[in-house]
Amino acid sequence: MSEMDSKQVVDLLYWRDLQRTGVVFGASLLLLLSLSVCSIISVISYVALALLSVTISFRIYKGILQAVQKSEDGHPFKMYLDKDIGISSELVQKYSDTALAHINCVIKELRRLFLVEDLVDSLKFAVFMWILTYVGALFNGLTLLIMGLIGTFSWPVIYEKHQAQIDHYYGLVNKQIKDVMGKIQAKIPGAKPKTE
């Protein structure tokens, strides 16, 4: 992702442009809530029908307006119809290479965890998976996506406003976790503490 793209994402998450962020957040949340009520086929069909209703109505309105005013403005969407919307092979190659690098990294890490290269890391992963079984029993994937979306758009602003307090409490919790992990590693045979 280029520097300009990442700046736009940061501006979006920090609500720098309220209108753009509101539209993205609202549309995303509406889509996820719609998917929790209807099937994906129904949601796609309803969105397409709503979009077609708007564009057809606008086209008819402009046609009537041109007939009444006897003007030759042409097709109201001519500017968009003439635009090239094709995806270049370079862009596809760039993102597929990036995705492939991430997939390979995940595969190597999963191999390392499942084949117990480091006992402590594999135990941490097992505890994490055990906790996820309880999370999965409480929430479905769509609910987690909705909560993640709300958190993604809320957390940066909350952190920006209360950074000092959050960092203080994070430091306290992190110290406690390191103390507990040190005690656990001391009791597990063959587990050596990682050097940082």
Per-residue pLDDT reduced to its tens digit, 15-51? 888 999 999 999 999 989 988 888 889 889 998 999 9
Least confidently predicted of 18-27, 69-78, 164-173: 69-78
Per-residue pLDDT reduced to its tens digit, 87-141? 889 989 999 999 999 999 999 999 999 999 988 889 989 999 999 888 888 888 8
DSSP secondary-structure letter at 85?
Answer: -
User: In sequence order, which residues have a C-beta less than 8 Å from that of residue 108 and are 6 or more positions away?
Assistant: none
pTM reported for the whole predicted model: 0.60
Q: Tell me, what amino acid is at 18?
A: L
Is the predicted pLDDT of residue 193 greater than 70, yes or no? no
